[in-house]
Amino acid sequence: MEEDNNTKLAKIAQSLIPIGKGILAADESTSTITKRFELIGVPSTEETRRQYRQLLFTTPEIEKYISGVIMYDETIRQKSDNGESFVSILQNKGIIPGIKVDGGTTPLRVGSSELLTIGLEGLPERLASYYELGARFAKWRAVFTISDEFPTSECIEKNSQALALYAIQSQQAGLVPIVEPEVMMEGSHSQERCYEVTNQVLLQVFKDLEVQKVSYPGMLLKPNMIVPGKSAAMAINPYQTAQKTRALLETVVPKEVPGIVFLSGGMTPVQATENLNAMNKERALWQLSFSYGRALQEPVLKAWNGSRGNESTAQEMFLERARLNSLAVVGKYDSKMETMS
DSSP state letter for 118: -
d(CA 140, CA 177): 8
185 and 266 Cβ atoms separated by less than 8 Å: yes
Distances (CA, A) of 14 to 10, 131, 177, 289, 330: 6, 18, 13, 12, 16
Cα-only R_g, the chain = 19
- List of residues 6+ apart from 247 with CB closer than 8 A: none
| Dihedral Cα 298, 299, 302, 307, nearest 10 deg | -110
Q: Strand pairing partners for 221?
A: 179, 260
Which of 100, 139, 222, 244 is flagged as catalytic? 222
Which of 28, 180, 182, 311 is flagged as catalytic? 180
**Mode of pairing for the β-strands spanning 105-107 and 115-117:** antiparallel
d(CA 57, CA 24): 10
- Of 7, 22, 201, nearest to 98 by C-alpha is 22
Q: Is 282 helix (H, G, I), strand (E, B) or coil?
A: coil
- 47 catalytically annotated: no
- 281 catalytically annotated: no
d(CA 182, CA 320): 26
Task: Give the catalytic positions in this structure.
Answer: 180, 222
